[in-house]
């Protein structure tokens, strides 16, 4: 059994007697340098600081734990997107026992008087501050688990850029420690760095130009940077309704264009994942910019032509194919789709319609012809302008 002990900013003295006994009696202790420095000396005990590539190195670091007692130190609650969760993923719950301390999230909410469920939590790990954008709405509360001392400045700049510069920013440093700090400022007024160990709390206040993109499918087309290769709003909403995003599910967006379907799939839930496959590098770069701008920087882009570019990708729970599907692409995505997975194909050309109709006869599902018209000015009057009709095939494998 690997014992994972949560340790707060208050340090060694704040641990319970049982947790202190586990640490003192361990043959080996793993943790960050900050955690290891909090411990008293133990003769003969091996102590190892985490390497940069923690997840990749973990299997080797804990190898042989069946013969030696191993304690892993973590900040606060080890299962709050911490190393405890990683160890359970790698080794299984039966091999890991977690001893949580009070998490920084719980401490921050207590200091602010925010009830559980009244705020979103965003954990920053790398260059992913854009994750905060998904949570920005008037009146929304957000707790950002800081990556380093530069996080408050990054969050402040993002809020200003998105029209939320009047939001209240509360930077809580070293929560639970005697040297705990608190700074309350208007986001636009923040300057300098913050504590290395901090939670940045945001009480959102939207300005007149604030971006308020809905989590429901069908964002305005103007929300995206595109060159015309974009699944338009009404068709996108219909496609996502048939794809049915659900927590943790993986989507392939094949022929992604501007990436709108993958972006809105991921916006539907923080754990949704998507791979955008796009053959043009310029468009792939545009997909990445759209994903970051709309709060889902974790969207993966693959540059290449389907079906070759699909080889080696993790099996999808859903697939969307835009208006350029070929027989080879349709066969490849159908073969890759998990049982129970959903496929939506949009056919714009007569040739693709014929392919889709043949697959519908073979696999079933629904065929829908979607024609959308928009009111536009004609001189001093107005009239309906039809968009190109699209045949939509939706099917569950």
- Tens of pLDDT along 247-284? 999 999 999 999 999 999 999 999 999 999 999 999 99
Confidence at residue 330, expressed as pLDDT on a 0 to 100 scale: 96
The fraction of the chain above a pLDDT of 90, given in percent, is 81
Confidence at residue 58, expressed as pLDDT on a 0 to 100 scale: 82
Q: Rounded mean pLDDT of 4-16?
A: 89
Question: Which residues are CB-contacts of 343 (< 8 A; sequence separation ≥ 6)?
Answer: 318, 319, 320, 321, 333, 334, 337, 365, 393, 394, 395, 396, 397
Confidence at residue 52, expressed as pLDDT on a 0 to 100 scale: 79
**Residue 123's pLDDT band (cuts 50, 70, 90):** very high
Confidence at residue 374, expressed as pLDDT on a 0 to 100 scale: 93
**Residue 323's pLDDT band (cuts 50, 70, 90):** low
Task: Report how far residue 127's alpha carbon sits from residue 275's, in angstroms, rounded to the nearest whole number.
Answer: 19
**Residue 53's pLDDT band (cuts 50, 70, 90):** confident
Confidence at residue 212, expressed as pLDDT on a 0 to 100 scale: 82
Q: At residue 180, what are phi and psi to the nearest 5 degrees?
A: -55, 140
Which of 175-179, 276-280, 349-353 tops mean pLDDT? 276-280
Q: Is 337 a residue whose pLDDT tops 80? A: yes
Helices 260-267 and 281-293, packing angle to 10 deg: 30
Task: Report how far residue 273's alpha carbon sits from residue 247's, in angstroms, rounded to the nearest whole number.
Answer: 9
Q: Rounded mean pLDDT of 16-22?
A: 94
Mean pLDDT of the chain: 93
Provide the H-helix boundaries in the chain. 17-25, 33-36, 54-61, 83-91, 104-112, 151-161, 233-243, 260-267, 281-293, 327-336, 350-363
Residue 143: which of 166, 111, 165 has the closest Cα? 111
Domains and their CATH numbers in the chain? 2-102 (3.40.1010.10), 105-203 (3.30.950.10), 221-396 (3.40.50.150)
3-class secondary-structure state, position 135: helix
Please tell me which residue, 178 or 361, carries the higher pLDDT value.
Answer: 361
Task: Report how far residue 229's alpha carbon sits from residue 233's, in angstroms, rounded to the nearest whole number.
Answer: 12
Across-strand partners of 385? 374
**Residue 90's pLDDT band (cuts 50, 70, 90):** confident
The fraction of the chain above a pLDDT of 70, given in percent, is 99
Residue 231: which of 220, 241, 246, 216 has the closest Cα? 220
Match 């964002």 to its residue by tokens.
Answer: 219
**Residue 125's pLDDT band (cuts 50, 70, 90):** confident
Task: Report how far residue 321's alpha carbon sits from residue 330's, in angstroms, rounded to the nearest whole number.
Answer: 8
Please tell me which residue, 57 or 355, carries the higher pLDDT value.
Answer: 355
- Residues 235, 370 contacting (CB under 8 angstroms): yes
Confidence at residue 397, expressed as pLDDT on a 0 to 100 scale: 95
Token pair for 48? 């190892």
Residue 393: which of 368, 363, 361, 373 has the closest Cα? 368
pTM of the model: 0.89
Match 């693959």 to its residue by tokens.
Answer: 302
Q: Give the DSSP H or E segment for 198.
A: strand 198-203
- Determine the Cα angle at 292 with ends 191 and 258, to 5°: 150
Question: Which residues are CB-contacts of 103 (< 8 A; sequence separation ≥ 6)?
Answer: 6, 76, 77, 80
CA distances in angstroms from 121 to 82, 163, 266, 382, listed in the order given? 14, 20, 16, 47
Question: Which residues are CB-contacts of 175 (< 8 A; sequence separation ≥ 6)?
Answer: 8, 9, 104, 107, 108, 111, 197, 199
Confidence at residue 13, expressed as pLDDT on a 0 to 100 scale: 87
């Amino acid at each position: 059994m690997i014992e994972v002990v949560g340790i707060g900013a208050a340090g060694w003295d704040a641990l319970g007697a049982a947790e202190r006994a586990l640490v003192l009696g361990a043959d080996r202790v793993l943790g960050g340098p900050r955690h290891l420095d909090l411990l008293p000396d133990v003769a003969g005990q091996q102590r190892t600081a985490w390497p940069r590539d923690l997840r990749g190195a973990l299997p080797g670091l804990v190898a042989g734990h069946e013969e030696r007692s191993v304690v892993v130190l973590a900040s606060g609650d080890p299962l709050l997107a911490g190393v405890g969760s990683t160890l359970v993923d790698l080794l299984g719950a039966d091999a890991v026992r977690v001893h949580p301390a009070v998490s920084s999230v719980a401490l921050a909410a207590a200091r602010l008087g925010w009830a559980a469920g009244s705020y979103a939590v965003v954990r920053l790990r790398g260059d992913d501050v854009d994750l905060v954008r998904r949570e920005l709405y008037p009146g929304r509360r957000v707790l950002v688990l800081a990556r380093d001392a530069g996080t408050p400045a990054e969050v402040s700049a993002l809020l200003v850029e998105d029209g939320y510069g009047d939001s209240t920013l509360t930077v809580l440093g070293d929560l639970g420690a005697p040297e705990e700090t608190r700074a309350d400022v208007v986001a636009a007024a923040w300057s300098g760095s913050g504590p290395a160990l901090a939670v940045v709390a945001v009480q959102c206040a939207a300005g007149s130009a604030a971006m308020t993109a809905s989590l429901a499918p069908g964002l305005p087309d103007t929300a995206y940077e595109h060159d015309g290769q974009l699944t338009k709003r009404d068709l996108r909403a219909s496609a996502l309704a048939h794809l049915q995003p659900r927590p943790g599910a993986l989507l392939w967006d094949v022929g992604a264009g501007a990436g709108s379907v993958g972006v809105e799939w991921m916006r539907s839930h923080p754990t949704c994942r998507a791979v955008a496959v796009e053959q043009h590098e310029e468009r792939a770069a545009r997909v990445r910019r759209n994903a970051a701008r709309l709060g889902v920087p974790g969207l993966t882009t693959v540059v290449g032509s389907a079906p070759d570019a699909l080889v080696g990708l993790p099996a999808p729970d859903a697939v969307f194919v835009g208006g350029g599907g070929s027989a080879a692409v349709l066969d490849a995505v159908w073969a890759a789709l998990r049982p129970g997975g959903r496929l939506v194909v949009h056919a714009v050309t007569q040739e693709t319609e014929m392919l889709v109709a043949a697959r519908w006869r073979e696999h079933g599902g629904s065929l829908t012809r979607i024609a959308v018209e928009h009111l536009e000015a004609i001189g001093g009057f107005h009239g309906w302008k039809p968009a190109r009709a699209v045949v939509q095939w939706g099917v569950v494998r």
